Chains A and B, each alone.
Chain A
Amino acid sequence: MMSRFIAVLSVLLSILALGACGVTAEPTSAIMISDPWVRAAVVVDAMPEEPTAMSMSQDGAMADEMDHNNAMGSTSAAYMTLRNTGDADDALIGATTDVAATVELHTVERDGDVMRMRPIKQIDLPSNGSAELKPGDYHIMLIGLKQDLQTGDSVTLTLTFQNAAPMTISAAVHQP
């Protein structure tokens, strides 16, 4: 009897201890996500439907007609810490959001002072392990922003995993 009580107590205390870190999780998921945020960014490329009068604008904008070729030109990135509390290995394999046309997983390879951003297929989440998505490292790249992302906004992201069920989270927008 006592042992069962202590076992239950253990689980309860563990949950309390985890709760204390401000980690949020869907009840059924072994994946826990903390401190999600998205970098503030503005749409810099002219939209294709924008009148071509743009190209006739005054000084400094002589090459603006080229903007129309670059509808994919505005980007941002999402960052967070992902933790796999389960006993099986998992991986983040993709994400979607309404604010960008395309979402990709990227990392940055540092070669002396040269930075090489590289698309990757997945970000591994080993059992009882974690992955930190942060500037200069793993990030979720948002390509083709459909709207400006201003500090104070929030962005909804749906993350997909190799094993765990998809998770939808809200990430605050701010500058680093």
Chain B
Amino acid sequence: MHIVDGALSDSVVIGGAVLAVAGIAYGLKRMDLDRIPQIGMLSATFFIASLIHVPVGPSSLHLILNGLIGLALGWTAFPALFIALLLQAAFFGYGGLIVLGVNTVNIALPAVLMGLLLRQLIVNSPPKRAAILGGIAGAGSIALTAVMVGVSLALSGDAFIPAAKLALLSHIPVLVVEALVTAATVYLLVRVKPDFFSHAER
């Protein structure tokens, strides 16, 4: 999920950086005082979630939670995820600093898209249907992220196409877990704090 330095061609790195800056700028513009604590909390959640590795078969997986973050934050997911990714790269070497833009776009853009597509539906749904929609958001954002990782690698040269295919396949277990976790979280939030998603973006 985190691409390292040197794996991508310059044009992909630059393109990713430009898109990331645009997304962050737009996200910051939409950030208002009331929501800053929530953005900070979800940024911290993403930072921590990537550190908890659960062994599955020969490899290990960790939660990414970008679907949930997208539902909760909308466009402000960009700055929230950027800061978490920056600190992960600086402290743990997860992903490179130069490809930070690409990584931010790959993780934040699917989050934003899922948020835009599904949030309003979740607000208008009873808890059970909201949970299913949450699951779709969780799985959908992982699938999109995997596709975007694959595309970033494929754009950088033919040799990376097998690697990109592998990235897609290896994310299937994450996709399932992420769908379940996001569904459960959305169900809880809709039951406990029904206005959570309706206040998400105004």
| A, B from the same assembly | no
Q: Give residues in A with beta carbon < 8 Å to B.
A: none
Q: Give residues in B with beta carbon < 8 Å to A.
A: none
